[in-house]
A and B are shown apart, each in its own frame.
Chain A
């Protein structure tokens, strides 16, 4: 094991420009839609992707980051399409 205190992703021999973050694969999310009609490339509806994003920290700025900041978000919102009114992750009360 290396003695370094922190192992940085920049040390990896990864081609720059590939999206590397919390996620493990390239995966177009609901911001991207390469086609105006079928085949669509984004999630429909975006709510379908909510738990998939917040769980594994896919888009941590846009959804509750379940890995660090909001570990029990699912307690508030188990089914986003029904429970969206309970969302309370921007301002912690």
Chain B
């Protein structure tokens, strides 16, 4: 009898052990914040699920470091979405009748408790036909309290915020130039010149508004920039805050870029899709975007698929090796950005 019990226990232990050894079969979802609401594309089945509903233009997105919250940056509000259920859990409204706040971009603090917001505030005085246009602001919004707890003046044009993951006191800001901001004091340090280049340097036009990263990825943000000497890609290490540049050997006109999971290739484009070798800057493959211009790019975690889309109302899937178009999945409205989540 005892030996039979031992055998049963042994077999159950074996079954439980075997279950833990199975590979985690994550499904890729593309979260597309359209003008009508969040549409969630299952990249395996092509099925589109309706998530949070709203009616607004979502300019930009950010997610909490643990990937549990997805924040949709509309012009005057931020929508908070639960990434397990894709439902709307809160709306943070920044504008009032007398104060119009236009939000350019947002990012989530390392502890997930604050939102960093680049915004422009226009104040109206009651019964007085005058508008007070304040300098651009960097606002720190406490998610729990639902209020702005601190704000600092910013230079014009900050459209990308990246908190430094191993330094909770600083964030990297992309605007007309690239800055490091001290989150405790608001002090700014220019770390890469854009249009305010020295006389012996060339100006750079940096397009860093499409944050194509995904939760759990390599935490390297890639973006194209243009200078008189040609096209470059910058790669920001979001953990250390360090930036490096790669000169593209060929010219293209990308607005948006993403680094492959193995960090060997940059995929970039707008009307085209190009694959650039990070080590050499050579374009190893290129194709036209089958469904037209797009703003967002994502790679599957295994690096085998490239997802492109937004601008129009669809997500296209390409083979990452051959850049062969595979399919396009329509969504319910036009969008400006998207992100991949896998679960």
Cross-chain contact of B157 among A24, A67, A81 (Cβ < 8 A): A24
A6 to B57, CA, bound (A): 27
| Total cross-chain contacts (CB, 8 A) | 132
A6 to B175, CA, bound (A): 22
Interface string of A37-66 (1 = CB under 8 A from B): 011111111011111101110000000001
With a cutoff of 8 Å between Cβ atoms, the chain A residues found around residue B171 in the complex are: none
With a cutoff of 8 Å between Cβ atoms, the chain B residues found around residue A49 in the complex are: 293, 311
| Residue tally, chain B, CB below 8 Å to A | 54
* B41 → chain A closest CB, angstroms: 15
In the complex, the chain A residue whose C-beta lies closest to that of B311 is: A48
- Give the secondary structure class of B's interface: loop
* A61 → chain B closest CB, angstroms: 18
Cross-chain contact of B195 among A18, A39, A47, A78 (Cβ < 8 A): A18
- In the complex the two chains form, is A55's CB within 8 Å of B57's CB? yes
A14 to B84, CA, bound (A): 44
- In the complex the two chains form, is A56's CB within 8 Å of B75's CB? yes
**In the complex, chain B residues 188-228 whose Cβ is within 8 Å of any chain A Cβ:** 195-196, 203, 205-209, 226
**In the complex, chain B residues 295-312 whose Cβ is within 8 Å of any chain A Cβ:** 295, 311-312
- Give the secondary structure class of A's interface: loop
A61 to B221, CA, bound (A): 33
Cross-chain contact of A50 among B55, B208, B255, B334 (Cβ < 8 A): B334
A sample of 30 cross-chain residue pairs with beta-carbon separation below 8 angstroms, ordered by A number, consists of A1-B134, A1-B153, A7-B135, A8-B133, A9-B156, A12-B155, A13-B196, A14-B156, A15-B195, A20-B156, A20-B157, A24-B157, A24-B159, A24-B175, A25-B159, A39-B272, A40-B253, A42-B271, A43-B270, A45-B292, A45-B293, A47-B292, A48-B294, A49-B293, A51-B311, A55-B75, A56-B75, A74-B334, A80-B334, A82-B313
| Residue tally, chain A, CB below 8 Å to B | 46
When A5-B130, A24-B159 are in contact, do A78 and B35 touch as well, CB less than 8 Å?
Answer: yes
Cross-chain contact of A52 among B55, B135, B295 (Cβ < 8 A): B295
* A47 → chain B closest CB, angstroms: 7
* B288 → chain A closest CB, angstroms: 8
